[in-house]
Amino acid sequence: MSWTESKQNRHPGNYVPKQPLHIECSIEKALDVIGGKWSFLVLRELFGGTKRFGELQRNISSISPKSLTDTLRHLEENGVLERTAYPTVPVTVEYTLTPKGEDLHRMLKEMKLWAAKWC
């Protein structure tokens, strides 16, 4: 998908950090996961438990199916959620946070605390 590629290009290759590389790389990775336009809204839904495609689409009312798919794929590729398809007719698909995804809660909480304090 183009999103992944473009996000990786967000900081052009000729930037050479002077401090240990893993610092900003890891921050960049975290931003890559939650920084997308819809990512944290989807994550927020899933913190409330497993959800299906249609539920997500309804709860995040202005999202298009394309954007939702893109977001879900991106989150899945990053291992923060899991997609499960059941061979019913019609098909049933569920999205659930992985432990890695659940663990994002601490990060988001800090963001919330910061904003609560300063905004």
Partner DNA sequence: CAGTATCCCTCCAGATACTG
Partner DNA sequence: CAGTATCTGGAGGGATACTG
3-state DSSP assignment of residue 71 = helix
Q: Which two tokens stand for residue 92?
A: 């049933």
3-state DSSP assignment of residue 46 = helix
Using an 8 Å Cβ cutoff, are 73 and 1 in contact? yes
Binding mask 89-118 for DNA (x = CB under 7 A): -xxxxx------------------------
Amino acid at 7: K
Which stretches of the chain bind a second copy, using CB under 8 A?
10-16, 18-19, 22-31, 34-35, 37-38, 40-41, 44, 59-63, 79, 100, 103-104, 106-108, 110-119
The one of DNA, a second copy, none whose footprint includes residue 50, by CB under 5 to 8 A per kind, is none
Interatomic CA distance for residues 20 and 25, integer angstroms: 9
Binding-site ranges for DNA (CB under 7 A): 2-3, 5-7, 10, 12, 36-38, 52-55, 62-67, 69-70, 72, 83, 90-94
